Amino acid sequence: MDNSDQLELSLNNQARRDFLTTSACGIGGVALSSMLLEDGLLGSEFANPMAPSKPHFEAKAKACIFIFMAGAPSHLDLFDPKPVLNKRDGQKLPKEILDKARFAFIQPNTATLKGSNRTFKAHGQCGMELSDYLPHLGTVADDLLLVRSMHTDEFNHHPGQLLMQCGVSRFGMPTMGSWLTYGLGSESQNLPGYVVLNAGRGSSGGATLWQSGFLPSTYEGVLFRPQGEPVLNLDNPKGLPPELQRLGLDTLLQLNKGRYEKVQDPEISSRIANYELASRMQTTAPELIDLSKETNSTKNAYGLNRPEVKGGGRGKLGNTYQDFARNCLLARRLVERGVRFINIVYASWDHHSNLDPELKYNAGAVDQPIAALIKDLKQRGMLDSTMVVWGSEFGRTPLGENRGGRAANTGRDHHPFCFSMALAGGGIKGGQIYGKTDEIGWEVEKNPVHPNDLHATMLNRFGINHEKLTYRFQGRDFRLTDVAGKVIQDWIA
């Protein structure tokens, strides 16, 4: 067998063939300029890499909203109550534990346990215990799968964030959204299949958190912007009206078509199609961000008009409370329009000091909009097919941070051994708590979950066998779950 033939067997090409056999009327069912079709320009070589394609098996989830809490929120103060830790507040840990652990800033010799000042209350029929900083999330407890047994291999922010997004902490790897759109394409042919919404401070990982790595840049996340044009370069230059834009594109089409006829390169037809899609996006993207048709009660439920609160650390951009609420509402609108993957990035939860007030600020920013999003999706019948994920790169230490020169232990350090995540919808069984940490929240005691397991299970809900979604790069078949990953059956609804 010839190697080149082997390459042809990548999933993407399968998608290409599926697309060619299923869509008779142009790109993903969207009509192109009739001229193109009449002239048979969409020849057999033409393929749209974002055309929707069939999964390996029946899918429960169609879209994913990944809410990435960059910087590592404290599981001990939000999701994982530890009465024993509170009792042992101020005590030291046995030396053998401290010697094994690595810390960023904690000085092991003088470190002491730090209890939580939060109160926890049981919510919903399932009796899920959540912190007093998350009152709204409590109202959707019965839809939530709360995972208390996450653990990771990485200890610093950027590598940890890469591991959570890419399944591997190395650079140059595709992120979750890239894998998913590479595997499934997107239902939306008028908007990008993978959209990123950003609020708060910039994250440690920056644009690498939505990179496509070795996959073509078609699968890279497109950052929607809170101000100005929603997609970079969407607006025509000032003074160039839509009618001239249309005429210009028509002229361009004629020129490109002429060249195609001469040189017969199918890449030209692909380019023509992309100019048409770009032109459609000029209408659909502004329509997407226009919230005037949303009712006031929806807007208020998300907290779109909440006043900004003091806090949030240095480098904060814009009005975080409103931006985050708006991003959650936009996520729903994106899912409605067929977008496959939405990554809402929020930074930063890196509370080495000032834990209580800063956590209050951040939880206050995200609690209400996320709960509203889950309720809104449910009410519209979209939650079953939309997976919402709340997560971060790691957790925080049960030890107070006694960094040299600090007067008091008001924060917690990085903690890769255990942390919490929450999922809802998209074929995930809610109303349950999965996994358990030990009595002080130091290590996982039961049902450990690695990001590779999380990804394997997420892909499963999208009808994808994580071991079969591969891409050949530098002689190796890479996948989102690297060389590991187990589907967690208990999560499956």
Partner 1 sequence: MEVGYSQVDFSRDIQPIFAEHCTKCHGSEKPKGGLDMTKRAGIVKRLKSGGQAVTPHHPEKSELLRRLSTSDPDELMPPKDEDKKLSAEQQALIRQWISSGAQWSTHWAYRPLSKTAPAKIRDAQWIRNTTDQFVLDKLKAAGVEPSPMADRYTLVRRLYYDLLGLPPTPKEVDNFVNNRTADAYEILVDRLLSSRHFGERWARHWLDMARYADSDGYEKDRPRPNAWRYRDWVINSINNDMPFDQFTIEQLAGDLLPNATGRQKLATAFNRQTLTNTEGGTDREQWRVAAVMDRVETIGSVWLGLTVSCARCHDHKYDQLSQKEYYQFFAYFNNGDESSASVPRSQKDYTDWLATKTEHDKQLESLRSLIASHNKVLEGKMPELEQKLLKKIKTQQSNPEKFHTLDLASAKGPKGVIFKKQEDGSLLVSGANPAKAKYTLEFDTSVNDITGLKIEVLPDKSLSANGPGRTQHGNFVLNDVRVYATDKAKFNANQHRVPLVSARSNYSQKDWPAKNSIDGNVAEGKNGTGWAIANQYGKEHYLIISTTRSISFKEPTRLQVVLDQQYGTQHTIGRFRITARTGHAPNDGIPASIVQAVQIRKDKRHPSQTKALLDYFSKNDPKIKQLQLKLGKPAPKPPVMSVRVISERTKSPRTTHILHRGEFKQPRDRVAALTPEILPSYENQAQGDRLDLARWLVSGKNPLVARVTVNHIWGNLFGEGIVRTPDDFGIRGQAPTHPKLLDWLANELISNKWSRKKVIKLIVTSATYRQSSTHRPELENRDPSNRLLHRQNRFRVEAEIIRDLNLAASGMLSRKIGGPSVFPPLPAGVAAVSYANNFKWATSKGADRNRRGLYTFFKRTAPHPNLLTFDCPDSNVTCIKRSRSNTPLAALTTLNNEVFSEAAKALGNRLIQEKENDSDRIIYGFRLCVARTPTISEQESLQSLLNAARKYYRAHKTEAMIYNGETEASAWAATARVMLNMDEFITRE
Burial 472-484 (b: 16+ CB within 10 A, else e): eeeeeebbbbbee
**Minimum CB distance to partner 1 smaller for 131 or for 327:** 327
Instruction: Point out which residues pair with 476 in neighbouring strands.
Output: 473
Report CA 181 to chain centroid distance, whole Å: 13
User: Is 205 a residue that touches partner 1 (CB under 8 A)?
Assistant: yes
**Minimum CB distance to partner 1 smaller for 350 or for 376:** 350
User: Is 261 a residue that touches partner 1 (CB under 8 A)?
Assistant: no
Q: Give the shortest CB-301-to-partner 1 separation in angstroms.
A: 28
User: Is 5 a residue that touches partner 1 (CB under 8 A)?
Assistant: yes
CA distance linking residue 10 with residue 4, whole number of Å = 11
User: Is 404 a residue that touches partner 1 (CB under 8 A)?
Assistant: no
**Minimum CB distance to partner 1 smaller for 293 or for 314:** 314
398 neighbors 85 (Cβ within 8 angstroms): yes
Q: Among 255, 309, 492, 493, indicate the residue that binds partner 1 (CB under 8 A).
A: 255
CA distance linking residue 375 with residue 163, whole number of Å = 30
Q: Give CB contacts under 8 A, 24+ apart, made by 253-261.
A: 253/33, 253/35, 253/36, 257/35, 257/36, 257/39, 257/41, 260/41
Q: Which stretch binds partner 1 (CB under 8 A): 246-254, 370-378, 391-399, 424-432?
A: 246-254
Q: Among 112, 139, 156, 447, indicate the residue that binds partner 1 (CB under 8 A).
A: 156
User: Is 3 a residue that touches partner 1 (CB under 8 A)?
Assistant: yes
Query: Taking CB under 8 A as the criterion, which residues in 40-59 touch partner 1?
Result: 45
390 half-sphere exposure, CB direction, 13 A CA radius: 28
DSSP conformation class of 85: H
Query: Taking CB under 8 A as the criterion, which residues in 158-187 touch partner 1?
Result: 158-159, 170-172
> Which string of DSSP letters, residue by residue, matches 160-181?
HHHHHHHSS-STTPPPHHHHHH
User: Is 119 a residue that touches partner 1 (CB under 8 A)?
Assistant: no
**Minimum CB distance to partner 1 smaller for 270 or for 385:** 270
Q: Give the shortest CB-367-to-partner 1 separation in angstroms.
A: 23
**Which residues, including other chains, have CB under 8 Å from residue 13's CB and lie 6 or more apart?**
none
**Which residues, including other chains, have CB under 8 Å from residue 313's CB and lie 6 or more apart?**
201, 348, 358
Query: Taking CB under 8 A as the criterion, which residues in 8-27 touch partner 1?
Result: none
Q: Among 11, 15, 176, 277, indicate the residue that binds partner 1 (CB under 8 A).
A: 277
User: Is 275 a residue that touches partner 1 (CB under 8 A)?
Assistant: yes
User: Is 414 a residue that touches partner 1 (CB under 8 A)?
Assistant: yes
- Pair of tokens at residue 51: 């055309």
Q: Give the shortest CB-32-to-partner 1 separation in angstroms.
A: 13
Q: Give the shortest CB-347-to-partner 1 separation in angstroms.
A: 8
Q: What are the Cα distances from residue 41, in Å, to 216, 261, 391, 489?
A: 24, 9, 46, 47
Q: Give the shortest CB-119-to-partner 1 separation in angstroms.
A: 30
Strand ranges in 40-105 using DSSP code E only, listed in sequence order: 63-70
User: Is 147 a residue that touches partner 1 (CB under 8 A)?
Assistant: no
Query: Taking CB under 8 A as the criterion, which residues in 466-485 touch partner 1?
Result: 472, 474-476
**Which residues, including other chains, have CB under 8 Å from residue 116's CB and lie 6 or more apart?**
74, 76, 77, 81, 82, 85, 86, 131
Q: Which stretch binds partner 1 (CB under 8 A): 91-99, 127-135, 149-157, 449-457?
A: 149-157
Q: Give the shortest CB-261-to-partner 1 separation in angstroms.
A: 11
Number of residues that bind partner 1 (CB under 8 A): 93
Q: Among 60, 92, 121, 316, indicate the residue that binds partner 1 (CB under 8 A).
A: 316
Q: Which stretch binds partner 1 (CB under 8 A): 84-92, 243-251, 298-306, 446-454?
A: 243-251
Query: Taking CB under 8 A as the criterion, which residues in 78-117 touch partner 1?
Result: 102-105
User: Is 243 a residue that touches partner 1 (CB under 8 A)?
Assistant: yes
Q: What are the Cα distances from residue 389, in Å, to 139, 152, 276, 416, 473?
A: 17, 17, 34, 19, 29
Report CA 105 to chain centroid distance, whole Å: 29
**Which residues, including other chains, have CB under 8 Å from residue 43's CB and lie 6 or more apart?**
266, 269
Q: Give the shortest CB-14-to-partner 1 separation in angstroms.
A: 17
Query: Taking CB under 8 A as the criterion, which residues in 339-398 touch partner 1?
Result: 347-348, 352
